[in-house]
Structure 1
Amino acid sequence: MLCQLSINNFAIVRFLELDFRAGMTSITGETGAGKSIAIDALGLCLGNRADAGCVRPGAEKVEVSARFSLLDVPLAKRWLEDNDLELDDECILRRTIGSDGRSRAYINGNPVPLAQLKALGPLLVGIHGQHAHHALLKTEQQLILLDSYANHRLLLDAVSAAYQRFRTNEQQLLELQRSQQERISRKQLLSYQVEELNEFGLAEQEFAELEQEHKKLANGSALMEACQNAIYLLSDGEESNVDSLLNKAISVAAEVETVDPQLASVSNMLNDALIQVQESCSELQRYLDKLELDPEVFIQIEERLSKAMLLSRKHHVQPSTLYQHHQQLLQELASLDSDESRLQEMEQQLSASRDNYLAQAQKLSQSRQRYGKELEKLVTESIRELNMPKAKFVIAVEFNEQLMTLHGSDNVEFRVSTNPGQPLENMAKVASGGELSRIGLGIQVITARKVATPTLIFDEVDVGISGPTAAVVGRMLRSLGESTQVLCVTHLPQVAGNGHQHMYVAKQSKGGMTETSMVPLDHEQRIQELARLLGGDIITDNTLANARELLNA
């Protein structure tokens, strides 16, 4: 629950430090005194938007901090633990807004983005404003309220996840369908190109080999003549050749080696040279023996080279990369074939994801119908207590499988009949301003009982209510305060008198500056304030007696 609120330089507040207790706290004050100022300041700690305009004139910044006890608030404690922001059984939220409009947020002393305040806030405080009943006229708000009452978080998460899967599958299928004609045209072209390349059947290194073989055959005569000439010079020359010259040199070296053994290495090198020459001659002869200058083979190679170059020009690639291009086209064709089968798979997946969504939405709808019956009974009883004895309230939940949203497939509508014989109709068509206030208040109190929020704030939700009805409202809020901390800003003495404690808001002007204060009232001060609410500025013995009676009741 909220234990302490500290406010510095916020609007017309210079400094306030407020301590709060369990139960129902009534907050009253004169018109224009700023009864909602503390709630507005608390809203900053909960992540509400703010700008430099909220800084008190002459001050550098607004600073607001709120301290909460987390005893029996497991959801908030778990959230803090998950975000590494825990601090025993307390939580301190702090917010500053500079005169330049810059805002900073802190949780337990740790700087955090504003989004984290907004995420944590609803786990600590629920605020019901004076215009909340007008929001109830909107069907989307009625749906949110019903889901909040029924605690449909897990069911809503399941529906939301199923909806997102369905939409993802739907988008993927649409993309495949949009490109289907393009794929068909591309597949026809690829099939022709691949068939042509398959028929040619160029191997991976074949083009380089063809080029080399073509070059060899084109220069076959020159190769043969060069090899024969080399053999002649090495060994077949009649007058002189390398072989015979080396043999003579070896003989000379052998003779001089006998004279000086240091020349033995020369003999070895000459013998090695002779071996190399003889092996070279043998290799050249073998090459000549295998060298075939078949004109038909040359023509075949030339034709295949020409075909390869023609295809490479046709496909706008280099001849050396024609094989790789062929493989790429094969892969693309296979991919297009798989896209066709994927199209069928996606159609099946879309159908399955739609069925799954509708199954999850149906579960949610059934739960909404069950809790809708429960809530409509409680609201009917509540508004009958609020001086609408013949009223009837119904929550219509209609499942529509064509309506697929993140929040399910239901049309939810709050319908009411305020007088006997009057048909049930949409609440906006039937209820008057005062009736709408009572219905809205009844709904807010009932749903507040069900939602596990440790602190509930009712900011002038009793507008349009008076007399005996106001007394019932006061008793409702007090009863709610028995299990939940309730802060109630009100102008009705019947409501204020039901508070377990009472705070008074006043405004003073001094030296051209206005300042708001907020103080707790003791028993006698409460009687004076209730008497003021009952009789206005003139307080008589009768109004004081009525005030005592209200407080004692």
Structure 2
Amino acid sequence: MLSHLNVHNYTLVDSLDLELQPGLTTLTGETGAGKSLLLDAIGLAIGSKARGEAIHDTTANAEVSALFDLGDQPHIKQWLEQHDISINDNECLLKRVITPQGRSRCSINGHSATLSQLQELGRKLVNIHGQHEHQALLSPQTQRRLLDRFGAYPQLTDATELAFKHWRKAELALNQAQELADSQGAQYQLLKYQVDELALLELNENEVKSLEGQQKRLANTEAMQATCAAIIHSGRDSEHSLQTQLHWCTSQLQSLTKHDPSFNDASEMLKTALINIEEAIESIDNTAQNYNAEDSNLSAIEERLSTIYTVARKHKVQPGALHEHYQTLCTELEQLECSDEHIAALKQAAEGALETYNAHAIKLHDARLKASKRLCKAIGQRLKALNMEHASFYIDFEAHDSPHPHGNHGVKFLITTIPGKPAGALHKIASGGELSRISLAIQVVTAATQTTPTLIFDEVDAGIGGTTGDTVGTLLRELGGKAQVLCVTHLAQVASKAHNHLNVRKTKQRGTIRSQITALCGDDIVAEISRMVGGPIDSNEALAHARQMMTTH
């Protein structure tokens, strides 16, 4: 659950340090006080889009930190371990820093994180249900996701989607092979000609690189021979060569050592130097003689390279890639030559992948059928409690014409609000107010089955009042017994059912409007509920009514 929220320099909030409790927490306040600011800040912490204009003081950054007590949430701990993020005191700290330019920095438990990682983890920690959720409810994709979330069979949806990907890949390979076979005649003749031409070249894998290296070396033979000759002359053949002078120095030192043994080390070093120089001169001499032998190969090398370059230009590839190009053409030619066998194998693979997909899709459909019966019953009960006693909720399944990543059947929510009338799609049958209540019923029912520890409802009771509002409060309190629930509400009936109360109000500080969030307790809660009812908050009757509302749960 979300245990602590820290906000700095975000929209109308200068600084906020808020401790949150389990159960149902309501956020109340006058219209325009900024009740949704708290939810926006939480959304920012879990990866929602950041805007530069959301920063109040544009000379400083905005910062939001959300601390979660992980409790018994093995799937969240597993995610953190998979991303090499340490866990301290069974807590998880999400932090987001927004610059005035709109750029952001994210961290998880002090480890730098990407925005996508923050969003992925945020979806596991918090589920936000907005006041316009009923609009998204009209989408078939949303309806399918809600049913699957209620059914809680992720292994079946994952297996079906993976099987679809495998089938799609196999089907694509088969289609490509068949298209290639259709153009086999002209394609085969061209490939055969190209392969034969390259085969005559008899090009080895690294031959071009080797030939170019030899060409470069042999092209400088004359200059290299002259340099070698100069070194040999100075080092060995001249009257005052390096070897001659070292011989003289060595001889002189040997005579000195007879009188003073301390010259022994220097004498040995000169002898070693003389040996090294003699060996070096000998090596240079041998290499220079090899140049004379190799010089005749230069013309042959250049002729070979010229042939290779010509063929490479013809095939529109780099000379160094010509051998690999040849191998590729050989493979393509082999595929054409055995295309019938290849297509038969690909067809068999695609059929096998389709059978596997269908097996998974059937299991998924069976699970959805079972879940739909339970979901329809649960939603029907909630609708009756929400003053839609004649409503009946159904889920219809329509078979797809071809394989689909989410199964062989689409999901459609149906409703009837008048006995004896046929059920129809939500947008065709339900009014705006009814759609809001249907959405709330679905949200409450499906939210109770999910593993997300914190649920947020942003004015989902809009357009609802009276006894229906009282029922909404009861439903949310019931849900608060299973998960942490934060709810922005304008209904006293809902606020009276809360375990915890937060009040949002605007204040004027140094000529600037600010939003202030305060935890209420005792008589302050009674006064706030009295205000929401609409009566004078200081009248005994209004306060007594507020206390009565709080005791009904």
Whole-Å separation in 2 of the counterparts to 1:69 and 1:29: 27
Whole-Å separation in 1 of the counterparts to 2:480 and 2:331: 72
Query: Is residue 61–residue 99 contact of structure 1 (8 Å, CA) maintained in 2?
Result: yes
Q: Which letter maps to 2:123?
A: P
- Corresponding residue for 1:118? 119
3-state DSSP of counterpart to 2:358: helix
1:234-313 matches, cutoff 5 A: none
- In the superposition, relative to structure 1, how do residues 339 and 457 fare at CA in structure 2: closer, same or farther (>3 Å)? same
1:37 aligns with 2:55: no
Whole-Å separation in 2 of the counterparts to 1:327 and 1:105: 48
- Corresponding residue for 1:515? 514
Q: % of aligned pairs identical?
A: 41
Q: CA deviation at 1:69?
A: 0.5
Whole-Å separation in 2 of the counterparts to 1:370 and 1:30: 45
Query: Is residue 28–residue 504 contact of structure 1 (8 Å, CA) maintained in 2?
Result: yes
Q: CA deviation at 1:188?
A: 5.4
Q: Which letter maps to 2:356?
A: N
Q: Which letter maps to 1:13?
A: V
1:159 aligns with 2:160: yes
Query: Is residue 471–residue 495 contact of structure 1 (8 Å, CA) maintained in 2?
Result: yes
Query: Is residue 150–residue 446 contact of structure 2 (8 Å, CA) maintained in 1?
Result: yes
Q: Which letter maps to 1:509?
A: K
Q: CA deviation at 1:180?
A: 1.8
Whole-Å separation in 1 of the counterparts to 2:17 and 2:359: 52
Q: CA deviation at 1:331?
A: 7.3
Whole-Å separation in 2 of the counterparts to 1:327 and 1:466: 76
- Corresponding residue for 2:23? 23
1:69 aligns with 2:69: yes
Whole-Å separation in 2 of the counterparts to 1:358 and 1:328: 36
Whole-Å separation in 1 of the counterparts to 2:30 and 2:74: 38
3-state DSSP of counterpart to 2:338: helix
Whole-Å separation in 1 of the counterparts to 2:93 and 2:544: 42
Q: CA deviation at 1:18?
A: 0.6
Q: Which letter maps to 1:105?
A: C
Cα displacement string for residues 379-426 of structure 1 (whole angstroms, at most 9, x for unaligned residues):
0011001111111101112333x2422212212111111122222111
Instruction: State TM-score, norm by structure 2.
Output: 0.74
1:96 aligns with 2:101: no
Q: CA deviation at 1:81?
A: 1.1
Q: CA deviation at 1:511?
A: 3.1
Whole-Å separation in 2 of the counterparts to 1:169 and 1:406: 14
- Corresponding residue for 2:462? 463
- In the superposition, relative to structure 1, how do residues 547 and 326 fare at CA in structure 2: closer, same or farther (>3 Å)? closer
Q: Which letter maps to 1:498?
A: K
Q: Which moved more, 1:460-469 or 1:177-186?
A: 177-186
Gaps of 5+ in 1: 205-312, 318-324
Whole-Å separation in 1 of the counterparts to 2:34 and 2:431: 28
1:325-364 matches, cutoff 5 A: 333-364=333-364
3-state DSSP of counterpart to 2:5: strand
Query: Is residue 384–residue 390 contact of structure 1 (8 Å, CA) maintained in 2?
Result: yes
Larger radius of gyration: 1
Cα displacement string for residues 425-469 of structure 1 (whole angstroms, at most 9, x for unaligned residues):
111111111111111111101111100111111111111110001
Query: Is residue 454–residue 484 contact of structure 1 (8 Å, CA) maintained in 2?
Result: yes
- Corresponding residue for 2:273? none
Q: CA deviation at 1:334?
A: 3.9
Q: CA deviation at 1:192?
A: 9.7
Whole-Å separation in 1 of the counterparts to 2:329 and 2:463: 77
Q: Which letter maps to 1:440?
A: S
Q: CA deviation at 1:338?
A: 2.5
Cα displacement string for residues 339-381 of structure 1 (whole angstroms, at most 9, x for unaligned residues):
3311121122222222222221121111111101110000001
- In the superposition, relative to structure 1, how do residues 132 and 536 fare at CA in structure 2: closer, same or farther (>3 Å)? farther
Instruction: State TM-score, norm by structure 1.
Output: 0.74
Gaps of 5+ in 2: 204-310, 316-324
Q: CA RMSD in A?
A: 2.9
- Corresponding residue for 1:222? none
3-state DSSP of counterpart to 2:35: coil
1:77-92 matches, cutoff 5 A: 77-88=77-88, 89-92=90-93
Whole-Å separation in 2 of the counterparts to 1:527 and 1:164: 57
Cα displacement string for residues 494-550 of structure 1 (whole angstroms, at most 9, x for unaligned residues):
000000111100111233311111011111001100000001566533221210101
Q: Which moved more, 1:402-411 or 1:428-437?
A: 402-411
Whole-Å separation in 2 of the counterparts to 1:125 and 1:193: 61
- Corresponding residue for 2:294? none
Query: Is residue 403–residue 410 contact of structure 1 (8 Å, CA) maintained in 2?
Result: no
Q: CA deviation at 1:178?
A: 2.1
- In the superposition, relative to structure 1, how do residues 104 and 190 fare at CA in structure 2: closer, same or farther (>3 Å)? closer
Whole-Å separation in 2 of the counterparts to 1:529 and 1:327: 80
Whole-Å separation in 1 of the counterparts to 2:326 and 2:381: 80
1:469-484 matches, cutoff 5 A: 469-484=468-483
Query: Is residue 470–residue 492 contact of structure 1 (8 Å, CA) maintained in 2?
Result: yes
Whole-Å separation in 2 of the counterparts to 1:14 and 1:327: 67
- Corresponding residue for 1:46? 46
Q: CA deviation at 1:166?
A: 1.5
Query: Is residue 365–residue 399 contact of structure 1 (8 Å, CA) maintained in 2?
Result: no
Q: CA deviation at 1:174?
A: 2.0
Query: Is residue 473–residue 493 contact of structure 2 (8 Å, CA) maintained in 1?
Result: yes
Query: Is residue 181–residue 336 contact of structure 2 (8 Å, CA) maintained in 1?
Result: no
1:13 aligns with 2:24: no
Query: Is residue 378–residue 446 contact of structure 1 (8 Å, CA) maintained in 2?
Result: yes
1:494 aligns with 2:493: yes
Whole-Å separation in 1 of the counterparts to 2:335 and 2:370: 51
Query: Is residue 396–residue 413 contact of structure 2 (8 Å, CA) maintained in 1?
Result: yes
1:446 aligns with 2:445: yes
Q: Which letter maps to 1:458?
A: F
